[in-house]
């Protein structure tokens, strides 16, 4: 169903307050989750709130945990997330990266021992909105077979990069699996095949049948061996730089999705070596040329990443935000003070 | 054919000297091109030397051009490559990134107006061998359709990341196209289909037939829309940070592959927040777990990126380096002082 953003946010904030968050935490989390859904990323927006509630109850997320400076060196800082709220820890660290970049041209913040940051692109978007190029990634528990394996052995470790542009940020937010499990479910329920192969069936054949992949759990890395290689490299780099857990450490802990994970936030001043006006002109020129590339289907012009998200955001703000009926009932129930323990997947 | 590394390098160095390079330049370029072939990356090793010779003669590469500091800010530096030798410019900038990281924890060097860096992974490998995490990328002229387009509208902009590990560096060197055009030719000549779809034929059907893709020029981005999105973002970021050319600027100049391109080099101290011993232990543990993931085929155990390259390097050093017969004749001819102008593709 469609829900007006303000109503969605008010109810969501109430739900977060009922989970024990402070007013400031609840305000921030409501804004982020509702904005992700408004941007069309429901899977990591409203849809994650019931699971967040479960994680708080299980003690996998410590709502009193705050990011704590462990060590700093030059343009880099290391924080312990103390298993606090992933969104709040990540927003803090993204902002610190911006501050470091203001001083040093580039800033890096390595966050360890944090929890799920929900929509990965959130932080690169924020960095770009502040006028900096943002790069961020996370390591997750194993949810994808490494290339050459038939068992889940690496995370789908999203990688995000954003470029600030006055006419609309350019943002890539890509998991290292070709499709998320959530997406497979959407296609299966609609009785449709995936547009392109998304994994292997239990007999090892590449398939576009979502149910067959859900059964085998053999989801396909983005670009076959390439996404698998990048996923393990991002895992190692995040754990090394933050002095935190790697993916297999999280597998051993088995405390839910991304609990204890490591995250990297890099901000870069895009105007330190050139004039802002000239660089913005170059970005607009390049995007315009890209967008005018001859389309396969004239009804679907080429778009640079981020442009469709901005269009979707405008539509959601005007017409209401798309929310799954069941999720909305659950969030409303939490907002009404009901205990949903055991009733959520 | 197989050629002993020392012989290969001696002849290659002589060829570079005959192209006008100084002894130091020729020594470095011979080492890099021969090492790339020894690592199994012939396409960007020995195979590129005849084209390099052509570019020098055409004036697209200025062998007297040297990297020149344009501006510096904190942990970041900007160089003008003056259309000098791409390999030498890039090696210099990778080393500067390491020096900046020693001081600031992270270092960024943005290089503009340079030429083809040959094998992209070279610089991330070097940064890792110096004990730092390396991240680098480049923008290229358009050689791949953006997602939704049927014409070449974005570069395949390789992205590289390397993690230093005493037991063997972990290195990803990935172009944003699923297969290079060079690889398509190899499969076509062998009369084989690609292992997985590599592009669209002229009728717009996804195909594994290499000849059909060479005909349509509709090579597939890595991971479909994902590789296309990352390619344009890397292009914009490289051009913005370096204050250099973007991909469409290179298309307009039309001076061969990567002439005038922008490159980014980032080095990160992986031990600034933890002990080297503990972080190396974590890396070894994670790689060991990844490599012991249950294989689809027990004859092909899972490997982390870089491990197979190191194995190939050892084999090449022991048994000789694989070199294409025609390429070897051409390099030998240049070493003998023959002018190959007009005889090279």
φ and ψ at residue B109, rounded to 5 degrees: -125, 125
The first and second tokens of residue B300, run together, are: 């092909």
Is B266 at the interface with chain A, CB within 8 A?
A: yes
pLDDT score, position B134: 98
| B91, B117 Cβ separation under 8 angstroms | no
Beta carbons within 8 Å of B342's beta carbon, 6+ residues apart: none
CATH number attached to the domain at A2-58+320-335: 1.10.1530.10
CA dihedral A184, A190, A195, A196 (to 10 degrees): 30
What tens digit of pLDDT does each residue of A92-116 get?
A: 999 999 999 999 999 999 999 999 9
Touching B: A residues 294-313, CB under 8 Å:
294-297, 300-305
Cα A131-A132-A134 angle, rounded to 5 deg: 135
Distance of alpha carbon A266 from alpha carbon B286, whole angstroms: 24
The alpha carbon of residue B289 is apart from the nearest alpha carbon of chain A, in Å, by: 7
Residues contacting residue A201 through CB under 8 Å, at least 6 positions apart: A207, A209, A212, A213, A215, A216, A218
Instruction: Tell me the two tokens of residue B103.
Output: 């001081």
Domain A178-220 top-level CATH class: alpha beta
Judged by a CB distance cut-off of 8 A, whether residue A180 touches chain B is no
- A170 to B297: CB separation less than 8 angstroms, yes or no: no
DSSP A74: T
CATH code: domain A68-177+222-268 is 3.30.1370.60
DSSP A270-301: TTSSS-HHHHHHHHHHHHHHHHTSPBSSTTS-
Mean pLDDT of A68-76: 98
pLDDT at A345: 47
Residue recorded with tokens 């543990």: B285
Contact A74 B287 (CB under 8 A): no
Q: Domain coordinates of chain B in residue numbers?
A: 2-58+321-335, 68-177+221-268, 277-304
Residues of A in contact with B108 (CB under 8 A): 105-106, 268
Measured between CA atoms, the residue of chain B closest to residue A77 is: B273
Q: Is the pLDDT of residue A62 over 80?
A: yes
Length reported for chain A: 345
pLDDT at position B341: 67
8 Å CB contact of B73 and A236? no
Between the alpha carbon of residue A198 and those of residues A119, A189, A191, A214, A217, the distances in Å are 21, 16, 15, 10, 11
pLDDT digits (tens, 9 = 90+) for A130-143: 999 999 999 999 99
Q: What angle, rounded to 10 degrees, do the helices at A325-335 and A49-58 form?
A: 50
pLDDT in tens, B90-149: 999 999 999 999 999 999 999 999 999 999 999 999 999 999 999 999 999 999 999 999
Q: What percentage of chain A has pLDDT greater than the value 70? A: 99
The overall average pLDDT reported for chain B is: 96
Among A108, A149, A279, beta carbon nearest to B106: A108
Which of B241, B281, B306 has the most A C-beta neighbours within 10 Å, making it the best mutation to test the interface with A?
A: B241
- Please name the CATH architecture into which domain B2-58+321-335 falls: Orthogonal Bundle (1.10)
CB B61 within 8 A of CB B119: no
Is the pLDDT reported for residue A343 higher than 70? Answer: no
Q: How far apart are CA A167 and CA A156, in angstroms?
A: 31
Residue A75 backbone phi and psi in degrees, to 5: -95, 15
Below-70 pLDDT ranges, chain B: 341-345
Q: Is the pLDDT of residue A319 over 80?
A: yes
More confident of the two residues B268 and A43: B268
Which B residues in the span 230-249 are in contact with A, Cβ-Cβ below 8 Å? 230, 232-237, 239-243, 246-249
Say how far apart CA B105 and CA B103 lie, in whole Å: 6
How confident is the model over A170-215, as pLDDT tens digits? Answer: 999 999 999 988 889 889 989 999 999 999 999 999 999 999 999 9
Chain-centroid distance, C-alpha B21: 21
Cα→Cα distances A270→A106, A190, B94, B231, Å:
9, 43, 19, 18
Q: With an 8 Å Cβ cutoff, are A248 and B76 in contact?
A: no
| pLDDT higher than 70, residue A310 | yes
pLDDT tens-place string over residues A221-271: 999 999 999 999 999 999 999 999 999 999 999 999 999 999 999 999 999
Whether the per-residue pLDDT at A46 is higher than 90: the answer is yes
CB contact under 8 A, A229 and B172: yes
In the block, residue with structure tokens 């040297």: B66
Question: How far does B151 lie from chain A, in Å, by closest CA?
Answer: 6
Output the pLDDT for position B271.
98
Identify the CATH assignment for B68-177+221-268 out of 3.30.70.3270, 3.30.1370.60, 3.30.70.600, 3.40.190.10: 3.30.1370.60
Q: Do A108 and B105 touch (CB under 8 A)?
A: yes
pTM, 2 dp: 0.97
């Amino acid at each position: 169903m469609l829900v007006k953003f303000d109503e969605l946010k008010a109810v969501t904030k109430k739900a977060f307050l009922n989970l024990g968050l402070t007013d400031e935490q609840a305000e921030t989390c409501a804004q982020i989750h509702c904005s992700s859904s408004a941007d069309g990323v429901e899977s990591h927006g409203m849809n994650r709130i019931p699971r967040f509630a479960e994680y708080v109850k299980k003690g996998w997320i410590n709502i009193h945990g705050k990011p704590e400076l462990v060590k700093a060196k030059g343009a880099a800082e290391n924080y312990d997330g103390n298993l606090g709220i992933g969104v709040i820890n990540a927003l803090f660290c993204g902002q610190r990266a911006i501050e470091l970049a203001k001083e040093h041209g580039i800033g890096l913040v390595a966050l360890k021992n944090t929890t799920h940051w929900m929509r990965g692109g959130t932080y690169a978007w924020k960095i770009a909105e502040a006028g900096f190029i943002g790069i961020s990634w996370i390591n997750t528990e194993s949810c994808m077979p490494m290339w050459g394996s038939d068992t889940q052995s690496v995370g789908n470790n999203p990688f995000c990069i954003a470029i600030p542009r006055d006419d609309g940020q350019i943002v890539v937010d890509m998991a290292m699996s070709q499709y998320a499990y959530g997406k497979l479910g959407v296609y299966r329920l609609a009785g449709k095949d995936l547009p392109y192969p998304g994994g292997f069936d239990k007999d090892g054949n590449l398939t576009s049948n979502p149910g067959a992949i859900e059964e085998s759990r053999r989801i396909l890395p983005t670009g076959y061996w390439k996404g698998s290689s990048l996923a393990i490299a991002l895992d190692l780099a995040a754990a090394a730089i933050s002095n935190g857990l790697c993916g297999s450490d999280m597998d051993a802990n088995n405390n839910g999705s991304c609990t204890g994970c490591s995250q990297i936030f890099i901000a870069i001043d895009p105007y330190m070596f050139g004039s802002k006006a000239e660089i913005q002109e170059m970005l607009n020129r390049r995007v315009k040329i890209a967008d005018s590339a001859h389309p396969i289907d004239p009804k679907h012009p080429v778009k640079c990443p981020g442009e469709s998200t901005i269009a979707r955001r405008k539509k959601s703000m005007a017409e209401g935000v798309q929310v799954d009926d069941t999720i909305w009932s659950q969030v409303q129930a939490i907002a009404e003070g009901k205990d949903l323990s055991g009733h959520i997947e």
